[in-house]
Structure 1
Amino acid sequence: MTDYCPVYAPFFGAMGCTAAIVFSCFGAAYGTAKSGVGLSAMGVLRPDLMMKAIVPVVMAGIIGIYGLVVSVLISDGLKMKMALYTGFIQLGAGLAVGLSGLAAGFAIGIVGDAGVRATAQQPRLFVGMILILIFAEVLGLYGLIVGLILNTKATGGDVQC
């Protein structure tokens, strides 16, 4: 093994794969749980709005899909012998999508909880809640885009192992 291709290089790629799925699913789980609590509380007052108010739960679930996509793509590039550069880039890609998914899930959970409770009292607030949820969701999408770009750069190293 050379200095550019140490035996521990795949570890960083595996950690990127893990970070992508774990952190984004933490965000999705928090967003689902938090907005689900608000949905349950709202359903007691206005059961007729249940299907309309399930939007935050669906949006939180999408965050987990972002992590899954990047995790699968990173795992496809893992090899027994790989450049340290590739491992670091894969770690960066996983952290980018994972941590932005975590942040987006937190935002969706908090907005979803308060938004569906407020919508139960004043239905005209629904459109405003949806707009705020879209802005929260796009934070995870930014991480997905950066993760995908980084993952395409991972195979571009000049070092052959």
Structure 2
Amino acid sequence: MSDLCPPTAPFFGFMGAAVALIFANLGAAYGTAKSGVGVSSMGVMKPDLVMKSIIPVVMAGVLGIYGLIIAVIIGNGVKGPEGGKPQYSSFTGFAHLAAGLACGLSGMAAGIAIGIVGDAGVRASAQQAKLYVGMVLILIFAEALGLYGLIVGLILTSKEAPCS
């Protein structure tokens, strides 16, 4: 057994997969719930605009998919011991943990932003139609935060050090 490949290294990889999924889904759930409340409230005033105002809910849901992608990639990258010899290095475990944190926390931040903007935006655009395009642009920039985390997570999952 090498100091670079302790038997505890897979723990960090599995934690990376878990935090990617957990935090991204927390953001997706918050964004969906918060903007869904706004859509429901707006639907009472103008029911014909409900389908047009569902965009924040969809954008929040996509954040959970980002976390799922990273979690699956990390989960498939964690290697168990073969013949009593570790196959997964600390470096790889830490890289996978960093990937999960980058994606998960970015997804959570994006979900919070989408929820707040979605709630206020759909209510405001129901009263003033000219605000709709501005709301969509703000939502796109909020979604980009989650996408940045996904991109960094994908890059970090490709970092690997052998156990030889």
Q: What TM bracket, shorter-length normalisation?
A: over 0.9
* Aligned twin of 1:98: 104
Give the AA of the match of 2:163. V
* Aligned twin of 1:159: 163
* Aligned twin of 2:83: none
- Alpha-carbon shift at residue 109 of structure 1 (Å): 0.1
Give the AA of the match of 1:106. I
For each residue in 1:60-79, what CA deviation from the matched residue of structure 2 results, as whole angstroms up to 9, or x when unmatched? 00000000000000001011
* Aligned twin of 2:151: 145
* Aligned twin of 1:111: 117
> Taking structure 2 as the reference length, what is the TM-score of the superposition?
0.95
Give the AA of the match of 1:31. G
SS of equivalent residue, structure 1 residue 123: coil
Q: CA RMSD in A?
A: 0.7
Structure 1, gaps ≥5 residues long: none
* Aligned twin of 1:71: 71
Give the AA of the match of 2:60. A
- Alpha-carbon shift at residue 50 of structure 1 (Å): 0.4
- Alpha-carbon shift at residue 124 of structure 1 (Å): 1.1
Counterparts of 2:141 and 2:51, CA distance in 1: 21
Which ranges of 4 or more aligned residues in structure 1 deviate by more than 3 Å? none
- Alpha-carbon shift at residue 159 of structure 1 (Å): 3.4
Which residues in structure 2 correspond to 1:1-161 (within 5 Å)? Answer: 1-80=1-80, 81=86, 82-153=88-159, 155=160, 157-160=161-164
Is the CA contact 2:2–2:163 (under 8 Å) kept in the aligned structure 1?
A: no
Counterparts of 2:163 and 2:137, CA distance in 1: 46
- Alpha-carbon shift at residue 158 of structure 1 (Å): 4.4
Counterparts of 2:37 and 2:67, CA distance in 1: 24
Give the AA of the match of 2:136. I
The 1:72–1:140 alpha-carbon spacing in structure 2 relative to 1, beyond 3 Å, is same
- Alpha-carbon shift at residue 35 of structure 1 (Å): 0.1
Structure 2, gaps ≥5 residues long: 81-85
> Taking structure 1 as the reference length, what is the TM-score of the superposition?
0.96
